[in-house]
């Protein structure tokens, strides 16, 4: 019975969208990612500006967020669609001189 439960949990973790995924990188703890099922919203909860890079199925999404700012990643180009899912996320602090 336990073996069947573990298999079910593993399959559901693969099928479930990446809502609980977090960002890696030096500023990964400052990033909150939420989804409404159609688009993602990314919020910088830290005290420093960050650059967030998402890799999603052969597309790269970039966001630069000030402290407290939120935005939705969009595909590059004139008719950019909102990001519907992603494979990896890296957040790095923006250093000013």
What domains sit in the chain, N to C, each tagged with a CATH number?
A: 22-93 (2.60.40)
The dihedrals phi and psi of 67, each to the nearest 5 degrees, come to -55, 130
pLDDT number for residue 5: 57
Which H or E element spans position 5?
helix 2-15
pLDDT tens for 13-61 read 444 444 445 799 999 999 999 999 889 999 999 999 999 999 988 899 9
CA-wise closest residue to 85 among 20, 12, 25: 20
pLDDT number for residue 43: 95
| Token digits of residue 95 | 């250093």
pTM: 0.72
pLDDT number for residue 97: 60
**Residue 88 forms beta bridges with which residues?**
55
């Amino acid at each position: 019975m336990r073996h069947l439960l573990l298999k079910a949990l593993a399959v559901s973790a693969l099928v479930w969208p990446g809502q609980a995924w977090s960002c890696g990188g030096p500023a990964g703890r400052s990033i909150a990612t939420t989804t409404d099922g159609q688009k993602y919203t990314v919020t910088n909860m830290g005290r420093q500006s960050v650059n967030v890079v998402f890799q999603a199925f052969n597309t790269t999404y970039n966001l630069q967020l000030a402290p407290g700012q939120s935005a939705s990643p969009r595909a590059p180009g004139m008719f950019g669609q909102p990001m519907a899912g992603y494979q990896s996320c890296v957040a790095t602090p923006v250093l000013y001189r």
